Amino acid sequence: MVLFSVYAAKKSKREMRRLQRKLLWTVTKLKLGSMFSFKRAISDRQLLIYILLAVIFLTLLVVYPLLALLAALIILVLILTGSI
How far apart are the C-alpha atoms of 24 and 18, rounded to whole Å?
Answer: 10
On the question of pLDDT at 83 being above 70, the answer is yes
On the question of pLDDT at 31 being above 80, the answer is yes
Taking the chain, what is the end-to-end CA distance rounded to the nearest angstrom?
A: 31
Phi, psi of 18 (to 5 degrees): -65, -45
On the question of pLDDT at 69 being above 60, the answer is yes
State residue 37's pLDDT score. 66
- Candidates 12, 84, 6, 75; CA nearest to 46 is 84
pLDDT: which is higher, 62 or 16: 62
pLDDT bin (cut points 50, 70, 90) of residue 65 is confident
DSSP 39: S
Q: Which amino acid is at 7?
A: Y
pLDDT mean over 43-49:
82
